[in-house]
A and B are shown apart, each in its own frame.
Chain A
């Protein structure tokens, strides 16, 4: 039964459509374009609750359908409360003696009325406590981590139960694991050192891929299009690369062999800059690709409601459908690129230069 549920859920992840998003765009027909733009921006950002859809009731009251998530703040002590108290920034949450209000995805400490003051550049001047909330993205990461853990532990278990042959969903994943090993890790890192990096590369690949796919479901999740996430992944790649860097690696950065001394001095800062640019490009590439995909897809869906005629709307639908298909490919491609480049950087770090 559990297996069936798992399977159904997995298929849902793979083939989920993006149609639910469309339901709420016609709340205020007067400024439809602005509404869609705000909606897209809102979608791209993290949220303190898992909203599936929101609409305006007949009495003009906004209704949000979704799951509230725990808010964890560090503001002179740990403060934990449900995000339903914030109610999408429409109400002030009273926790103990403090009041908190949500404004553009950020929680500020306010007075009892929830006043937020802004400076000239339209930045809030209120105190923003350290926010460790289980946000929508954290929730999605946890969900992905759980799916991955049970999926791959299941695969590992099925080997012992089924005489070294994979069974179940793992059977679909096994060739991909082998692909990561044979086509990504070994050619880029080398037969000698690749084993040390396999755990990271495999986790990285499936983590990005699954989160990218989760972003294509109608749940409205955008994890890998968040700069904090890609920064974290790129940072780990950066740390692993430089920690495992051998003598030759550092030699190639600070004292490039085989070139005149003058060039060595010129090359050192360039190479040093490269050390930081490599992970930086990883961070930006994933962030930009996924964000762009989401923006394009949601804009096309938004266009359906702007056109409001058979020709334009169906054309937009066809385009959105085509982009969705492409996004499924991009989801895999970006995971692949991130993993390949990480492996390549690890390869640079452990490469042994016998020729010099």
Chain B
């Protein structure tokens, strides 16, 4: 201990204190502060870049998932559309068929009705003509029968003979 104290040099202590404190202050200004600032900045920028990359990757994955989903939806929609189109076309064809049949039936019916009408009209006409003919014939017969007084008396006689009083 005594050796240590006798070894102690105040001059050396003074210079060491002076130089060391000066060195700390100088290095703080010209070295440590800029170095640590840069390192911190670099670290935060690396961290930022890494998180940005992770975020970008996530976004990319989301986008891809979205794309997949949209594609799937589109496919499904196409399928349903096709299906709908198919059914609707079938329906239309069916409907057209039905309508055509209906129309045809209607026309047929109308035709039949018309035929029936024509037929009835024709029969009526025929009846009338036959009646006319009959009257004409009857007229002619009567005319010829009742041409003379004798014939008229004969007829009346005959009719009277047919009539028997009871």
C-beta contact mask, B77-117 vs A, less than 8 Å → 1, else 0? 00000000000000000000000000000000000000000
> Does the CB pair A159–B9 fall under 8 Å?
no
Q: Is the interface of A mostly helix, strand, loop or mixed?
A: helix
Chain A residues closer than 8 Å to B31, beta-carbon distance:
149, 152-153, 155-156
> Does the CB pair A202–B8 fall under 8 Å?
no
Q: In the complex, which residues 3-61 of chain B have their Cβ closer than 8 Å to any Cβ of chain A?
A: 4, 7-17, 19-28, 30-36, 38-39, 41-42, 45
C-beta contact mask, A157-186 vs B, less than 8 Å → 1, else 0? 001100010000000001001100100000
The residue in A72, A134, A178, A229 that gathers the most chain B C-beta atoms within 10 A of its C-beta is A229
> Does the CB pair B16–A229 fall under 8 Å?
yes
- Closest A residue by C-beta to B43: A178
- Please measure, in the bound complex, the distance between the C-alpha atom of A207 and the C-alpha atom of B38, giving whole angstroms: 22
Q: Flag whether A145 is at the interface (Cβ < 8 A).
A: yes
Interface size in chain B (residues, C-beta < 8 A): 34
Q: How far is the CB of B48 from chain A (nearest CB, A)?
A: 13
Contact of B35 among A134, A156, A228, A287 (CB under 8 A): A156
Chain B residues closer than 8 Å to A235, beta-carbon distance:
17
> Does the CB pair B17–A130 fall under 8 Å?
no
Q: How far is the CB of B103 from chain A (nearest CB, A)?
A: 88
15 interchain pairs, CB-CB under 8 A: A130-B10, A135-B11, A135-B12, A137-B12, A141-B19, A152-B32, A153-B30, A156-B35, A160-B34, A198-B36, A207-B23, A227-B7, A228-B7, A228-B12, A236-B21
Q: Give A residues with C-beta under 8 Å from B.
A: 45-46, 72, 130-135, 137-138, 141-142, 145, 148-149, 152-153, 155-156, 159-160, 164, 174, 177-178, 181, 195, 198-200, 202-203, 207, 226-229, 231-233, 235-236, 287
Q: Give B residues with C-beta under 8 Å from A.
A: 4, 7-17, 19-28, 30-36, 38-39, 41-42, 45
